[in-house]
């Protein structure tokens, strides 16, 4: 059985805003006991308005114009109501007000329009890996609209704090698809953060007036970043492989552990990024692939002997020569598949990723060996040292070593 919407229109003078017996004329639209007031931008004498019959009292030209404005407004409201019903939109007093204010051109002020704009225009400034996450967020938003809001789209002006909270709850309770993992707290926050960035675009373009995220607070759970101990890194380096592809992936992973390069940067590394200074030291100079479209800022990494040996090992390799890169490169999927095998062969109780290689460089290779945080930040290509602080951590082993040194010093004092 279909629910019936209670709908009414009331024209009235706002007496509390009256001055010298003249008050502004408003119309109140009420749907299911919720209403909005819209100014007709007309002022009338209190004695010139019949509240019971909602009409102007008088016949002079100015009063007739006001009466015609009332008639037109009533027609427009009824037309908006019928239009929204016909398009199976959720009927609210706010949605009618929005429809009237936009002249019925709502296709350019909906959430789906905004996401489509972002994913076609703004995507030119973002990397494919980043856009993949935005596509995922878009899919969840569309799913949420259909399953929880019983609609296919929503006007930007209808977004509010409750919409954001409802979306958060939906993501937390969502039954994962086959082969998917449930959304963790941080995954939920990432989806909401991406939605927030799209809403910011709408605010800057004046497609929305009020920020629905105004009172929303993001709560991230900060976890220790996984990295390899030196012994684990040595175990991986010592592995023997029957499959050449596994050896290549192991070597590029180890190279990342000694340079801090992300997977995309290892894939793009070519001879033009390798430079030698006047002292004969070998360096990597390049722009991080992740931020190339924004800052264009270079980062510099002094090559350690282990990294130099790996570069020499693959000099002249047919696959590397074909792609013009330092290393032979496998796809992201193949690389991850080989890293799982390498993790098992090394008897690790966690999966290997290039994020772990980067964390290993930041923590085990550099910070734990006395390299200052500022230098590590530059080598990782971070624009802010706060980002580097997230990557780094002081491990229990380091605390133990430092305290033993202190204990020995105290004994000698």
- pLDDT, tens digit (0-9, with 9 covering 90-100), for 120-169: 888 888 877 788 999 999 999 999 999 998 888 888 888 999 999 999 99
31 phi and psi, to 5 degrees? Answer: -130, 120
Find the mean pLDDT for residues 5-13: 91
Share of the chain above pLDDT 90, in %: 44
Whether residues 383 and 279 fall in one domain: yes
Q: Hey, how many other C-beta atoms are within 10 angstroms of the C-beta on 176?
A: 9
Whether residue 219 lies inside any domain: the answer is no
Whether residues 170 and 258 fall in one domain: no
Which pLDDT score, from 0 to 100, does residue 110 have? 86
Which pLDDT score, from 0 to 100, does residue 367 have? 73
Contacts of 403 (CB under 8 A, 6+ apart): none
Find the mean pLDDT for residues 221-240: 85
| Domains contained in the chain, number | 3
Whether residues 63 and 128 fall in one domain: no
Whether residues 119 and 99 fall in one domain: no
Whether residue 218 lies inside any domain: the answer is no
Whether residues 375 and 235 fall in one domain: yes
Q: Give the residue carrying structure tokens 């020569």.
A: 321
Whether residue 216 lies inside any domain: the answer is no
Which pLDDT score, from 0 to 100, does residue 59 have? 84
Whether residues 180 and 237 fall in one domain: no
Domain boundary among 85, 104, 123: 104
Whether residue 1 lies inside any domain: the answer is no
**CA distances, 89 to each of 93, 107, 146, 163, 233 (Å):** 12, 13, 12, 16, 58
Whether residues 282 and 375 fall in one domain: yes
Whether residue 412 lies inside any domain: the answer is no
Is pLDDT of 68 > 50?
Answer: yes
Whether residues 286 and 396 fall in one domain: yes
Is pLDDT of 293 > 60?
Answer: no
Whether residues 386 and 398 fall in one domain: yes
We report the CATH number of the domain holding residue 330 as: 1.10.443.10
Q: Confirm if 63 and 56 have CB atoms less than 8 A apart.
A: yes
Q: State which residues form the domain around 63.
A: 7-104
Domain boundary among 140, 169, 204: 204
Whether residue 222 lies inside any domain: the answer is no
Whether residue 297 lies inside any domain: the answer is yes
CA nearest to 13, candidates 3, 1, 27: 27
- What is the biggest distance separating any 2 CA atoms in the chain, rounded to whole angstroms? 107
Comparing 223 with 348, the larger pLDDT belongs to: 348
Whether residues 251 and 339 fall in one domain: yes
Is pLDDT of 105 > 80?
Answer: no
Is pLDDT of 106 > 50?
Answer: no
Surface-to-core class of residue 56, CB atoms within 10 Å of its CB (0-12 exposed, 13-18 middle, 19+ buried): buried
Comparing 198 with 224, the larger pLDDT belongs to: 198
Comparing 242 with 95, the larger pLDDT belongs to: 242
Domain boundary among 144, 170, 204: 204
Whether residues 385 and 237 fall in one domain: yes
Whether residues 93 and 131 fall in one domain: no
Is pLDDT of 1 > 60?
Answer: no
Whether residue 83 lies inside any domain: the answer is yes
């Amino acid at each position: 059985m279909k629910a019936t919407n209670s709908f009414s229109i009331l024209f009235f003078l706002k007496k509390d805003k009256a001055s010298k017996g003249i008050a502004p004329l408003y119309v109140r639209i009420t749907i299911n006991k919720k209403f909005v007031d819209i100014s007709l931008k007309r002022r009338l004498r209190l004695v010139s308005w019949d509240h019971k019959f909602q009409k102007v009292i008088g016949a002079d030209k100015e009063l007739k114009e006001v009466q015609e404005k009332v008639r037109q407004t009533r027609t427009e409201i009824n037309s908006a109501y019928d239009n929204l019903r016909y398009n199976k939109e959720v009927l609210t007093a706010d949605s009618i007000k929005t429809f009237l204010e936009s002249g019925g051109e709502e296709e350019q002020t909906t959430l789906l329009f905004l996401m489509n704009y972002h994913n076609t225009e703004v995507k030119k400034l973002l990397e494919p890996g980043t856009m993949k996450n935005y596509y995922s967020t878009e899919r969840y938003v569309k799913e949420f609209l259909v399953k929880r809001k019983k609609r296919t789209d929503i006007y930007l002006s209808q977004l509010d704090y409750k919409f954001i909270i409802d979306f958060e709850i939906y993501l937390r309770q969502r039954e994962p698809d086959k082969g998917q993992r449930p959304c963790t707290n941080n995954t939920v926050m990432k989806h909401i953060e991406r939605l927030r960035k799209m809403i910011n675009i709408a605010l800057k373009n004046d497609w929305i007036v009020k920020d629905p995220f105004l009172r929303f607070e993001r709560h991230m759970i900060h976890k220790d970043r996984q990295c390899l101990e030196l012994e684990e890194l040595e175990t991986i380096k010592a592995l023997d492989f029957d499959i050449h592809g596994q050896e290549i992936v192991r070597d590029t992973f180890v190279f990342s552990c000694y340079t801090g390069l992300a997977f995309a940067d290892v894939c793009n590394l070519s001879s033009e990024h390798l430079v030698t200074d006047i002292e004969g030291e070998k360096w990597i100079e390049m722009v991080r692939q992740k931020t190339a479209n924004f800052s264009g800022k270079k980062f510099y990494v002094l090559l350690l002997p282990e990294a130099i040996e790996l570069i020499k090992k693959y000099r002249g390799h047919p696959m590397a020569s074909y792609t013009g890169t330092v290393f032979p490169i496998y796809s992201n999927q193949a690389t991850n598949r080989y890293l799982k095998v390498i993790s098992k062969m090394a008897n690790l109780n966690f999966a290997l990723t290039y994020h772990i290689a980067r964390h290993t460089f930041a923590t085990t290779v550099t910070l734990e060996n006395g390299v200052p945080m500022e230098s590590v930040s530059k080598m990782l290509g971070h624009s802010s040292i706060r980002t580097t602080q997230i990557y780094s951590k002081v491990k229990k082993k380091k605390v133990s070593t430092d305290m033993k040194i202190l204990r020995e010093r105290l004994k000698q004092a």
